[in-house]
Chain A
């Protein structure tokens, strides 16, 4: 699937997914849609890129810390939920306001600002970050049996009865790992 055609098309599809997901996200209150569906749709687009380009390349393209994304989303949702407390209301108390845009007597339509929208932003981010993170983590991982060398080191440490912090495992995935894309083809 990693042909040029597929890659080009997937880029286009990604763009469409992005736009439509934003659309769905904004529409959520009145029409089918909302933060969750929007997020999942965008994830579909992102995963398509991952599948067609291979994980490492796609990672380089996005340069995103998906771990952080859902952390941020969770934080945002939490804060949106806590915020009403500072206004002497209960947790998760919602409010909305419809603002009319009217300049010089000409109506430019009206926009609705709902506090639940803020919360939905959090949902949106968590869904994107979490789902992409899960799938890329599973896709990236390559099983490698523990090296002999490490074993010796640890056993030596044990004999000396000193609890040393174990050598840090490399968090970054090296380039030679098999990408999920290859697996998915």
Chain B
């Protein structure tokens, strides 16, 4: 896997973990957000097929076009989309992208839950300090 992406991912992980250990409850949520991003980047970047092309097979071009994310954007700015079916190695790994799609949703869902919880904890404990969340111990 690419070293710099890996460095970025692990840096974000480290940062996320540091934030999760933070005293402030909101920072914990932010930490999870950062960690979620790190995981997602990791998943995308660790795709086995490191091809040059977006994983969309185009056999017939210009059947109809869309007005923002048309072929131009897809093939021009980001990566070229080639014509005709071709060998699998030419594409970026589609499976990891599909997995990330799922992972994004799941991390959004958990973020929503934790944010609701944080809001209620703030109301109930009258603080955002995690160290005060120690009423149950032993």
Contact = CB atoms under 8 A, between A and B. Distances in A.
A143 interface: yes
Contact of A134 (B66, B101, B112, B123): B112
B123 A143 contact: yes
A85 interface: no
Given A20-B68, A23-B66, A27-B66, A36 B105 contact: yes
A103 interface: no
B69 interface: yes
Contacts of B69: 31-33
A176 interface: no
A138 B116 contact: yes
B115 interface: yes
Interface string A107-145: 000000000000000000000000000100110010100
B123 A138 contact: no
B101 A32 contact: no
Interface in A59-85: none
Please name the 4 residue pairs, one residue from A and one from B, whose CB atoms are nearest each other, closest first.
Answer: A143-B123, A134-B112, A32-B69, A138-B116
19 contacts: A20-B68, A23-B66, A27-B66, A30-B56, A31-B56, A31-B66, A31-B69, A31-B74, A32-B56, A32-B69, A32-B74, A33-B69, A36-B105, A134-B112, A137-B116, A138-B112, A141-B119, A143-B120, A143-B123
